[in-house]
Structure 1
Amino acid sequence: MSTKVRRHKKHAGGHEEEAHADERWLVTYGDMLTVLMALFIVLFAMSQVDQNKFNALKSSLSMAFGNPSVTFAAPGSAVAGDAGGGDSAPMDISAPATKEEKEEAEKQARAALAALDRAKASARAKNAEKEVEKFDRIKKKIQAALNKQNASDSVQFRVDERGLVVTVVTSSVVFGNNSATLLSDGRRIIDAIAPALRTEKNKIEVDGHTNWLPVNSGPYPSNWELSTARASTVVRRLITRGLPASRVNASGYADQRPLYPDTDPRSVTLNRRVEVVVLSDLDAQTKALLPAAAGVPSTSH
């Protein structure tokens, strides 16, 4: 009796394994459907012809093969002599057959590139003119504020490759001798400049400059520390008057960027200055056109 039961269980177990084996066709079926889907996607993509890309390919093949004629058919058409046949005529791609035709093609290409360069140059010139117009509006706002403070003589304006440069001559009414502390007149000048800059989005650079005379007293060991400290003082004042700190930075240049040579009598007073620069956000090639657009010669910094 027990022997029959064991055989029945073994038979039953074998039957279950065979039933699972019969379901393995589902895996093969799924793989086949995936392959068919990929095939249909590829066929669909091949049926979509981008005429611009096809013309580019045509030109590239023409340049590659040179004078010999190359027969090339777009997708969906038959190549001449192909067993598939077709109503569409093949495209004949060939390079210029003569030297004159090649030279003419090169001439037209050069003319097209020159026209493109002229268009870019014209666009840059117009952008530079618009930037100078904006700088002129800022300048007039600052001048109006300075006139109310009777301080217009202490500030000069110019446009260079960086942008609008507002030069504050650091005479005894702005900073004391060998000092980086703004005097009352200096504070009034910076306070007059700040509102016009606050309404703009351009970044502001404040540069400190000294004359060639060495520092022989005070807390600063050299003109480098003195020029940087004065620029930082102006930056702090601008920030207290509403300019975001992220838009402003300070730099000191000592006597390394003079407006006048040491032999010029004006160098002692006019090279001692702080420059508040409204930086242009245009590209480098357009910024190089700013001085010409403003009607001043270009100067390098």
Structure 2
Amino acid sequence: MSDLLAQRRHEEGAGGQFRADLLAPQGSDIEGDSGWLLVYLDVMTLLLVLFIVLLSFADPDPDPRPPQRLPSVLLPAPLAVPGVEPSATAPSVGAAEASDDGRAMEAPDIASDRVTVIRESDRVSLRIQDSLLFESGAASLTGEGLGLLDELVPVLRAHDGAISVEGHTDNRPIATDAFPSNWELSTARATEVVRYLDAAGVPAERMRAVGRADTDPVAPNTNAPGRAANRRVDLILHRESDP
């Protein structure tokens, strides 16, 4: 019985091999033709790994709540820009204080068109171009400058707060025996104005002379009009409470 089963299995094996030989094309290599399948499986494996890596970076539990806005008390106050009136929706700190205590600065009545009046929340600046007060590179008041300051004396004497007299230059260097740099020139000009106002009756204890050189320009120093605008003397009228 066992001999018959062994013989039958032998015949079936031989027949299967024979059928495989018939189905395979002549001259073909079965193992070589299956190489594309290995490449395909490698590509699919790489795509699967890439998908898993991308999935690991995904947020599994995104927050559906919209972002919360900070309370207004925690937000920084907007910066006040000199010469620009603050808007109604975002007032500057100085403007808010002035409106709360009812002591907002009022611009004085200046009739001369040679003085530019700049009103800010806590101060008023009277701006004079240096050519109206001094010769180029000098710190002695001209006749026109003396007359212009005489027009401002009544306004300055009526003001009860502090008065800062600031001298400003452009960025072109100066190097003379009297003024080694723009610091000395701007300080000397501010001091000269304070001395004259003191002699004209403006209380000296309320005035101070400040030399700013070219550190506070109001226009670019890249052209002649800009440099001319930067050469100036500012008489700043502070509120009474300011030091």
Instruction: Give the TM bin, normalised by the shorter chain.
Output: 0.5 to 0.7
Structure 1 segments of 4 or more deviating over 6 A? Answer: none
Equivalent residues of 2:220, 2:227 under 8 A apart: no
The whole-number CA distance in structure 2 between the counterparts of 1:235 and 1:241 is: 10
Alpha-carbon deviations, 1:27-58, whole Å to 9, x = none?
xxxxxxxxxxxxxxxxxxxxxxxxxxxxxxxx
User: What is the CA-CA distance between 1:186 and the residue it aligns to?
Assistant: 0.4
Q: Which amino acid aligns with 2:97?
A: R
Q: Taking structure 1 as reference, are residues 268 and 123 closer, same or farther at Cα in structure 2, changes over 3 Å only? A: closer
The answer as to 2:199 corresponding to 1:240 is yes
Q: Runs of 5+ in structure 1 lacking a partner?
A: 1-109, 114-120, 147-151, 285-301
Percent of aligned pairs with the same residue? 33
Q: Taking structure 1 as reference, are residues 123 and 203 closer, same or farther at Cα in structure 2, changes over 3 Å only? A: same
Q: Report which of the two has the higher share of helix.
A: 1
Match of 1:252 in 2: 211
- 1:21-40 to structure 2, matched below 5 A, reads none
Q: Taking structure 1 as reference, are residues 177 and 125 closer, same or farther at Cα in structure 2, changes over 3 Å only? A: closer
- Give the root-mean-square deviation of aligned CA atoms: 2.7
TM-score, with normalisation over the residues of structure 1?
Answer: 0.46
The answer as to 2:194 corresponding to 1:221 is no
Q: Secondary structure at the match of 1:257?
A: coil
Match of 2:104 in 1: 131
Equivalent residues of 1:178, 1:218 under 8 A apart: no
User: What is the CA-CA distance between 1:187 and the residue it aligns to?
Assistant: 0.6
The whole-number CA distance in structure 2 between the counterparts of 1:280 and 1:184 is: 31
Match of 2:118 in 1: 158
- 1:74-113 to structure 2, matched below 5 A, reads none
Q: Which amino acid aligns with 1:174?
A: L
TM-score, with normalisation over the residues of structure 2?
Answer: 0.56
Alpha-carbon deviations, 1:217-255, whole Å to 9, x = none?
462111000000000000011111111110100010100
Match of 2:141 in 1: 182
Match of 2:22 in 1: none
Q: Which amino acid aligns with 1:201?
A: D
Q: Taking structure 1 as reference, are residues 190 and 283 closer, same or farther at Cα in structure 2, changes over 3 Å only? A: closer
Q: Secondary structure at the match of 1:157?
A: strand
User: What is the CA-CA distance between 1:274 and the residue it aligns to?
Assistant: 0.5
Number of residue pairs matched by the alignment: 152
Please say which structure displays the higher CA radius of gyration: 2
Q: Name which of 208, 221, 235 aligns with 1:276.
A: 235
Q: Taking structure 1 as reference, are residues 127 and 236 closer, same or farther at Cα in structure 2, changes over 3 Å only? A: farther
